Amino acid sequence: MPFLRDEKKEVSHLFPILYEDETVLVIDKPPGVVVNRAESVKSETVQDWAYTYLWLNEVTDGISAENKDFFDRAGIVHRIDKETSGCLIIAKNPSAFSELQRQFKERVIKKTYLAIVHGTVAPRVSEIRAPVGRLPWNRERFGILPGGKEAVTKYEVESSWSVTRGKHAEALSLLTLHPETGRTHQIRVHCKYINHPILGDYLYAGRKTARDDRTWVPRVMLHAKEIVFVHPVTHKEVAITARVPDDMNGIRAAGSSER
């Protein structure tokens, strides 16, 4: 039987558990937490936590070449950006890790995101189809490039409203987004491409807009709301949802003229 959310409070207080059984773990990653270890990252990562939670720190030998990737990544099947919150899948054994990787590669896994973006978006339901690649002149950023990888994002406008800051009112929209492909920074780049960058996006909103955003929002307003996968053992579809974070709800609550 799967464990219920927060059943392991003494271990998972930083990373709320949305779903867990003997094979798969889904956490609600808080914003501001890095997923993978790196020399430049000094704070605790999801990977650090996963090693401890899955007892992988106790495994010191006997790791086969076939299972090395699972141990190197502490079962983390995919990643979301540091400032993005929401659903993250962790496999609890090598076979589940391989199967879930296959599902990502073959686009079996479906993801749904929420984003607060600048402006009033039209049309209200559409698809963004534009190739995404790493910018040759800035290796930290991605953009729409002719030689980039195929990237498709479908979206719907959930609501639009205005916020008043000083003497000015600004239009914002809440989007539900369904990335059909999984390119790095895909949603952020695609929102910028249609001239509705994500609120708080320090990389893609533009220098002045990003600077203004950061005076009143704490992060990139992007949330991995739902993930749907086929269970590696039962072969049944599993849908997991993470609640909308308080900071996103607060921005909506502070608005007016919602429509």
Residue type, 249: N
Q: What is the distance between the alpha carbons of residues 18 and 25, in angstroms, rounded to a whole number? A: 8
Q: What is the distance between the alpha carbons of residues 20 and 4, in angstroms, rounded to a whole number? A: 7
Residues 6+ apart with CB under 8 A from 136: none
CB neighbours (10 Å) of residue 38?
A: 10
Distances (CA, A) of 188 to 72, 129, 130, 258: 28, 13, 12, 24
Instruction: Please identify which residue in the block is written with the tokens 């070449």.
Output: 65
**Phi and psi based region of residue 153 (left: phi greater than 0; alpha: psi -120 to 50; beta: remaining):** beta
Active site residue ranges: 81
Residue type, 32: G
The H helix count followed by the E strand count for the chain is 7, 11
Per-residue DSSP letter, 50: H
Rg (C-alpha) for the chain, rounded Å, is 19
Pairing of strands 125-129, 152-165: antiparallel
Residues 6+ apart with CB under 8 A from 227: 26, 87, 89, 109, 110, 111, 112, 239, 240
